[in-house]
Structure 1
Amino acid sequence: MTVQLLPLPAEHFDDWRASTKERLIRLRQDSGLLPGQDAVEDAERNFTELLPEGVDTRTSRILRIVDDEGQERGTVWFAFKDGRMFLIDAAFDEPMTDEQLDELWELVLGIAAEELVTQISARLFVQDAEARRFLDGHGFSTSSIQMLLQPIPDRDVSAVDVSPMTAERYPSFAAASEAGFASELAASGRLTPDEAAAESHRQFEHELPDGLDTPGQKLFTASVDGAEVGILWLAIRERDDHPHAFILDIEVAAGQRRRGYGRALMHAAEREARRSGADSIGLHVFGFNQGAVDLYEQLGYRRLAELLVLDV
């Protein structure tokens, strides 16, 4: 055994916190996931929510990576909840050998067994090559991908007409959207079907507490020659103090697929985002939906981070 995982001493916590916060901010900013002060606030939330009692927080483990010469080679930070183990950060002071990374992974699996964990997950930023080396080859699947289009191209070529969703159309949309998201969450491997249904309902209530009258939410139906072909749901948020559009739902109606309407709806999203003053569009796409991933990349969206999951 050439590496060990040892608990972080309490007297080292403040230094570790400062350096890890700087790293988390840099990962968010350099990936493009969160710019400027947004990255600072998000990193700070990690410490507030996951380490409320500092190094003594029972639902987190901060461990030093130590080699056989007693030299510290980095740290890993895990959080635990509901039988799941989350890799919050893996920081390597210098590249490790493949053998050392394999040994480190076996130690991680040992911790998962101790904690009776059934799933390990990790958010992997696009530029974090060493974390990718650490996780690659161990059977993780990509649950979801965060993507960004910035700037929004000026290509008003949508082949569909979009109009604000009516009060009459909203109830059937709401039921289908909530159920569809729950189904996809479960299919992504992140949650059980019951957990996915509860999470989908929670997010729907959070985003649309007042339905169509919720400020900052724009819901549309798309049509061609008067026939509905899909729906589009945009949230207008802020990103680095600039308006930012986020695609919460986009769906081509059954019976209207494979006619190019998916691409046309994405073009419509660009147009409506620009009309709202946004200069960027973000979205999450589930990893199993390779067709959607391919389309978004063809349209110029770039990957920022991936959520990986592994059942153990």
Structure 2
Amino acid sequence: MQRIQVKACGKINLSLDVKKRLENGYHQVEMVMQQILLHDDVAVRWFENQNGRVEIEVSTNRPYLPRDSRNLAYKAAHLMIRQYGEARSGKIRIDIKKRIPVAAGLAGGSSNGAAVLHALNQLWSLGLTVKDMCEMGSELGSDVPFSIMGQAKENPDLGLANDPLAAHCAVARGTGTDLEPIIGLKSHLVLTKPSIGVSTAEVYQGLALDKIEERPNTAELVAALAEKNYKIIQKNMINVLENFTLTRYPNVMYTKNKVERLFNEEAVLMSGSGPTIFALCRNRGEAQRAYEELKAYNKETFWTRTTY
């Protein structure tokens, strides 16, 4: 038996713009994705045997999570078997310790899938680059390639921290899988998730593109991150999906208003399609105070920071 454990970090969107709806039903986006320290632990074990096939077994500390092909970690293992497992015989055992909330806009499921790709790349000595795995990961979901990039940087034991695509922050274009590594944000964060789930498909389908009045300037945001110009960073922290989610889900609107009252001029934004709201904090003390107040309102509230 061989074992690899991966720190599977979540992400926030420092910006999210939807350019147009494509004929295939997907959307062309442009967004800045930032890895955060809040993470799941994904341990992958490989038991070699002579059964003539490769089996997958998934366990998790959250009883409501699926352990079959509905789980992205399972899907990632199945994808690796299809690509590289024909001549192998044994069992892949995946143990997921969840901390990242589910259906929260934080790429929790995507991070688990990415971790399995990384782990099997090591356990099976495949020698795949970050680019190789990102191309595979795009078959699993649009957030998986960024999770692969971030995990390569955050898990030096995987041996890919110096890969050209390993990064804590990136601009994502196309359908979200065309990624450009950039200098990221250094900040404490508070994240709070209302006790609801939000369907990403519903949000994108319901978004009225012709009614979006304010959009981020991605080039300006990227330059501001490089220069650590927090005023310009905050100016461009815009998520156009809020136009739908905040209207459709009053709990998310209420949560955002509550966080904004705590932080005055600090940037407060919804991550992804929601419902998680996050705020940049000026220091550790501010983050701790906000965490304690918001925790009383939303059980799934976290005090963390960006990775860098």
TM-score, normalised by the number of residues in structure 1: 0.34
Bigger Rg over Cα: 1
TM-score, normalised by the number of residues in structure 2: 0.35
Structure with bigger helix share is 1
